[in-house]
Structure 1
Amino acid sequence: MFTSLKNISILLLLIIFSSCTNQNQVLEAENSINSKDLEKHIIALSSDEFQGRKPFTIGEEKTTEYIANAFKKMGIEGAYNGSYFQNVPAVELKYSPDKSITINTKNGDITLELTKDYIAKTPHIKDSITIKNSEIIFAGYGIVAPEYGWDDYKNINVKDKIVLVLVNDPGFATQNNKLFRGNSMTYYGRWAYKYEEAARQGAKGILVIHSTKPAGYGWQVLTNTSGFGISIQTKNGNKNKCKLEGWITEDATKKLFEKSDLNFETLAKQAETSNFNAISLNCNLNLTIKTQLKFQNSKNVVGIIKGSKYPNECIVYSAHWDHFGIGPVQNGDSIYNGAMDNGTALAAFLETAKAFSKLKKKPERSVVFISVTAEETGLIGSKFYAQNGLFPPEKTIANLNYELLLPMGKMKDVTITGFGQSELDLYVKEAAKEQDRYIIEESSPENGMYFRSDHFSFAQVGIPSLFIKGWQDSRTKGKEWAQTQINNYWENAYHKPSDEYNPTTADLSGIVEDAKLFFKIGYKLANESSYPKWNEKSEFKAIREKSLKH
């Protein structure tokens, strides 16, 4: 009896020792994340040498090689038979729309100037498209949402016509929490959805009416980046999409309505109700867009640490490497360096990868690190990976996405964009508590940020996805100061050449904490057997459940 108890005691001691040793090794790996290495990545990736990291340029070559080399130095394996590159068959489209268009109305002509009044592109992969005498229809918010009893296209046929639609959704316009999701933008409010729905309705083209507050960004953000796009190569040349996709200013829209004997404010107000009926402006649009096409593979950069117990299941870390390259000159500068969008986040992504590479005991599930191309031009790289991934969606446990980390020091909060979507919030809460932080939902849900970065591509195929960062509550300077920093970034640096890194003013301690937070969450997910679920009211729940039945 004594011998048996002694053996049990020794066994328990060995288990405890082994557990403590593993915990120490995990902590050691986590603490390998540091501001010095983080800053080296940021400085390199946002330097002029990388020319703004635009796909199809020398900037892509330098950036993708940099990331691949970083993985290699860490000892992280290339995901494609030793190669770090997933080729994304893409096409770059450089647009040359008519510099001005004249619309004939019942009260005379109105002329719209390119970039001043409107911007236009075509997703059709061809060198020219022409729109002739296409009737213009105001279709409210351009939403068809049966679950909300909403159909802006009822009682009207928009086939081969041009639709004008309002940005965002009726919930934001009314601030009614019972309408859609109130102040929080739904996917129905996102311009990408509006383009998709207009195409489903058979429209020849769509122009979204821009207004800064409901859009979440100013007109200049659009015009700075309006001259080109990137598409995945498709067999049908994207003929299933509208010929014309674009934006028109609210001022130009008001003039157009006035010339058509209509009142824009009155109709926009009517569009806030489900009984609104679309209305013709009784005028036609003529427009030609010439397009230069460049067919070429772009690259996602992918590394993998194979799981020790469940190698056929994975979690995926993602961060986009691209920005806008060289563009319109502002204050004597034409290089859109993208230091915060997405240099800091990409650096944090690499630091988290380094922490995983330091683990002596490898995680039970595989861990994939993917830096994706062409996020800025429609989440192209992440969409391609989500549909052509190393692991099928049902074997991909979760996605953790890095985006827009600002170097403003340690934060008390962890802001969850898409708060309440999935059980991953509980993982964030647990990890945040270890850092003496609290979780909170985003402060500007009307901006629709959950639909604006690469995690959304994973969510669309049913994979629970996280977009988190310290954002609202500075540990030393408080909430108002933090909000001032955020506002300053949106107004003065976002998608502008001024998005540069300044080592004398940057405080990277908060980004280091965020990188460690990502590590904590991913480590837990990679070493358990359960599957985090979407919450009951999530629009992605049914997609996930369907994939898991396969």
Structure 2
Amino acid sequence: MFTRGLALAVTILFMTACDGVVPGGMSEPSLDIPEVEDGDISQATMVDITRELSTDEFEGRMPGTKGEELTVALLSERFEAAGLQPGNGDSWVQEVPLIEITGTNFAPLTITNGDTDLVYDYGSEWVGVTYQEEERTQLANSEIVFVGYGINAPERGWNDYEGVDVAGKTVIILVNDPDFETEGLEGTFNGRAMTYYGRWTYKYEEAARQGAAAALIVHDTQPASYGWNVVESSWSGPQAYAARGDNPPPLTTMNGWVQKEVAREILAAAGQNLDELTAAAKTEDFAAVELGMTASTSFENTFRTFTSQNVIGILPGTEAPEEYVIHTAHWDHLGRCTPAPDGDDICNGAVDNATGSAALVALAEAHVKAGAPRRSLVFLAVTAEESGLLGAYYYAANPIYPLDQTVGGINMDAFLVAGPSQDVTVVGPGKSQLDQFLDAALEADGRTPTPNPNPEAGYYYRSDHFAFAKEGVPMLYVDGGEDLVEGGREAGAALAAEYRENRYHGPKDEFDENWDWSGVMQDLQLFYRMGRMLAESTSWPNWNEGDEFRRTRDEACASAESGC
């Protein structure tokens, strides 16, 4: 069913509006992109699995519950029925050890300036958590340093930590990138488009690498892309983490957020001005500022350890079975949650992400029907995405198939069920040579790419593919289209808004027997074509020059005995 004789020599697409920017003037080799016929993808599979995973019996698919047991059993059975082989030796699962840490008895955040104390209440003015497995978290008289955006990016000639020692100290950090207010996509950090350096995950990781005791990010709604209510709800209550093993990365004592006006008051007490320091932090010659103040707080921690499971199947390749193309989707959701007005308290997660889990099975079936391609196809349903991509992070840190032998992958997170569209939404275009495969697949399907309309929100860094990207594996993240055949972009925007306002992460994200699956099937055909192109290709696509993940991939490939 595949034409290997014709390869498309496709050059990199320079998109006029995209999440990332491809540096001009560079020369990239042409890639081997085979033509691929349509796949035989079962709509019945999509409907049946989405419906079953969304029933109340599955209790919202919270990891560590009966819902997980039912979900793992269903996906394992359907992978086997599709014709895949177990993906972890003779097992369909990869065990993911998790630890849940719940902080209690929070003392205020106290900022001491000489004989004067500034005192801030937990929840309304600041939040904090620990990643360390200690019964008591204590931050005592830790010197405070303002480190701008908290970025150390040598490939971009930027280091906010240069010339300052923050070991054992508390760093205050601005959210997003230095150039996020730029209208266009030109700049040291891609202008308006957020890079990984703008995400809170990176800022905490870098602060820990620098030896900081605590890291406090200044919340600001526009650059964060969400309000304080999201911070307060997300950073309070139980926090789950993947077990870190024998060689964990550096950890701070505490990570947290402070309200913008709290940060303004703290800096003013040190004789500094938040607006002036923010402006200075946007420049390359910014120097960190030691404030001559200290921070103190404490809280208690309780722990719960449990094991969750990633579900994995493989279709071994014919010619290059030790080269892998991966498809990912998360099976978990929120379990029981805040009740709707009618009393329904089960977050069924039909769209998010029963649809993506069903898509893994439907694509597996189609690839098996077509016959194994030259490279192996891996189908990975990961756990604990809603807790912070934990299943994906665990796999990326403990890969069953070596990452330097993983060609690339496609992530599927929440198919918003709608009719057919003229386009697809590309989250993170311009980042890697996978765009060339996407462009070829879109051309074959007669569709066009629409760049993410909110690049400043950093959506590329918020789903499971990101765990692989951090380790250097090129990954695509494509959402459904916004330009619907019936109703155009206005109808697409209205549908997305209705879901976001009324169903997203709530009890009303439920299966609907009246859904129009034609748009989902259209998207699945695109994912099938892209995956098959990668699996039949002889090329190893890389990140584009200048991308934040290029160096990691190049280093992995340089040391690899086989693969990339």
Contact 2:76 2:311 in 1 (8 A): yes
SS in 2 for 1:199: helix
Q: Does residue 176 of structure 2 align to residue 165 of structure 1?
A: no
Q: Using the alignment, how far apart are the partners of 2:130 and 2:485 within structure 1?
A: 46
Q: Does residue 204 of structure 2 align to residue 218 of structure 1?
A: no
Contact 2:50 2:511 in 1 (8 A): no
Cα offset for 1:235? Answer: 4.4
Contact 2:168 2:212 in 1 (8 A): yes
Q: Does residue 517 of structure 2 align to residue 508 of structure 1?
A: yes
The one-letter amino acid paired with 2:84 is: I
Cα offset for 1:300? Answer: 0.7
SS in 1 for 2:180: helix
Q: Using the alignment, how far apart are the partners of 1:107 and 1:308 within structure 2?
A: 73
Q: Using the alignment, how far apart are the partners of 1:205 and 1:445 within structure 2?
A: 29
Cα offset for 1:55? Answer: 1.9
Aligned to 1:37: 45
SS in 1 for 2:258: strand
User: Which deviates more, 58-67 or 116-125?
Assistant: 58-67
SS in 1 for 2:215: strand
Q: Using the alignment, how far apart are the partners of 2:348 and 2:272 within structure 1?
A: 44
SS in 2 for 1:172: coil
Contact 2:315 2:376 in 1 (8 A): yes
User: Which deviates more, 95-104 or 56-65?
Assistant: 95-104
Cα offset for 1:139? Answer: 1.6
Cα offset for 1:443? Answer: 1.5
Q: 1:174-196 CA deviation, whole Å, 9 max, x = no partner?
A: 44622321011111101111001
Q: Using the alignment, how far apart are the partners of 1:277 and 1:464 within structure 2?
A: 34
Aligned to 2:532: 523
Aligned to 1:133: 141
RMSD: 2.8
Q: Does residue 126 of structure 2 align to residue 118 of structure 1?
A: yes
Aligned to 1:61: 69
Q: Does residue 332 of structure 2 align to residue 319 of structure 1?
A: no
Q: 1:41-64 CA deviation, whole Å, 9 max, x = no partner?
A: 223323333233222222322222
Q: Does residue 437 of structure 2 align to residue 427 of structure 1?
A: yes
Cα offset for 1:83? Answer: 1.6
Q: Using the alignment, how far apart are the partners of 1:343 and 1:139 within structure 2?
A: 41
Aligned to 2:11: none
Aligned to 1:392: 402
Q: Using the alignment, how far apart are the partners of 1:438 and 1:136 within structure 2?
A: 49
Contact 1:217 1:490 in 2 (8 A): no
SS in 2 for 1:171: coil
Contact 1:91 1:296 in 2 (8 A): yes
Cα offset for 1:263? Answer: 2.9
User: Which deviates more, 314-323 or 93-102?
Assistant: 93-102
Q: 1:316 to 1:239 in 2, by over 3 A?
A: closer
Cα offset for 1:469? Answer: 2.1
Q: Using the alignment, how far apart are the partners of 1:276 and 1:502 within structure 2?
A: 52
Contact 1:315 1:367 in 2 (8 A): yes
Q: 1:253 to 1:509 in 2, by over 3 A?
A: farther
Aligned to 1:191: 200
Structure 1 segment 144-543 matched on structure 2, within 5 A: 144-175=152-183, 177-226=186-235, 227-235=237-245, 238=248, 240-328=250-338, 331=341, 334-359=345-370, 361-491=371-501, 493-494=503-504, 496-498=505-507, 500-501=509-510, 503=512, 506-543=515-552
SS in 2 for 1:147: helix
Cα offset for 1:158? Answer: 1.8
Aligned to 1:8: none
SS in 2 for 1:86: strand
Contact 1:124 1:238 in 2 (8 A): no
Q: 1:269 to 1:487 in 2, by over 3 A?
A: farther
Contact 2:59 2:336 in 1 (8 A): yes
Larger Rg: 1
The one-letter amino acid paired with 2:360 is: F
Q: Using the alignment, how far apart are the partners of 2:286 and 2:552 within structure 1?
A: 31
Q: Using the alignment, how far apart are the partners of 1:493 and 1:165 within structure 2?
A: 33
SS in 1 for 2:181: helix
Contact 1:372 1:381 in 2 (8 A): yes
Q: 1:493-523 CA deviation, whole Å, 9 max, x = no partner?
A: 44x3246125267433222211121111111
Q: Using the alignment, how far apart are the partners of 2:271 and 2:405 within structure 1?
A: 57
The one-letter amino acid paired with 2:50 is: I
Matched residues, number: 524
Ranked by relative contact order (alpha carbons within 8 Å, sequence separation 6 or more), the top structure is 2
SS in 2 for 1:208: strand
Contact 1:191 1:208 in 2 (8 A): yes
Q: 1:237-277 CA deviation, whole Å, 9 max, x = no partner?
A: 85721110122222333343445544322322222222333
Contact 1:108 1:259 in 2 (8 A): no
Q: 1:397 to 1:239 in 2, by over 3 A?
A: closer
Q: 1:2-57 CA deviation, whole Å, 9 max, x = no partner?
A: xxxxxxxxxxxxx99xx9xxxxxx868x23331x4323322332333323322222
Q: 1:290-313 CA deviation, whole Å, 9 max, x = no partner?
A: 222222322110011112222222
SS in 1 for 2:123: coil
TM-score in terms of structure 2 length: 0.85
The one-letter amino acid paired with 1:291 is: N
User: Which deviates more, 292-301 or 328-337?
Assistant: 328-337
Percent identity reads: 36
The one-letter amino acid paired with 2:226 is: Y
Cα offset for 1:374? Answer: 2.0
Cα offset for 1:129? Answer: 1.6
Cα offset for 1:205? Answer: 0.6
Q: 1:382-414 CA deviation, whole Å, 9 max, x = no partner?
A: 222223323212321211111132123222112
The one-letter amino acid paired with 1:324 is: L
TM-score in terms of structure 1 length: 0.87
User: Which deviates more, 91-100 or 397-406?
Assistant: 91-100
The one-letter amino acid paired with 1:339 is: A
SS in 1 for 2:372: coil
Q: Using the alignment, how far apart are the partners of 1:279 and 1:338 within structure 2?
A: 45
Q: Using the alignment, how far apart are the partners of 1:239 and 1:129 within structure 2?
A: 18
Q: Using the alignment, how far apart are the partners of 1:382 and 1:512 within structure 2?
A: 25
The one-letter amino acid paired with 2:526 is: L
Q: 1:237 to 1:462 in 2, by over 3 A?
A: closer
Unaligned residue ranges in structure 2 (runs of 5+): 7-35
Cα offset for 1:419? Answer: 0.8
Q: Does residue 88 of structure 2 align to residue 80 of structure 1?
A: yes
Cα offset for 1:487? Answer: 4.2
Q: Using the alignment, how far apart are the partners of 1:535 and 1:233 within structure 2?
A: 32
Q: Using the alignment, how far apart are the partners of 2:461 and 2:141 within structure 1?
A: 34
The one-letter amino acid paired with 2:473 is: I
SS in 2 for 1:299: strand
Superposition misfits of 4+ residues, deviation over 6 angstroms: none
Contact 1:106 1:260 in 2 (8 A): no
The one-letter amino acid paired with 2:62 is: K
Q: 1:457 to 1:499 in 2, by over 3 A?
A: farther
Unaligned residue ranges in structure 1 (runs of 5+): 1-14, 20-25
Q: Using the alignment, how far apart are the partners of 1:195 and 1:379 within structure 2?
A: 16
SS in 1 for 2:234: coil
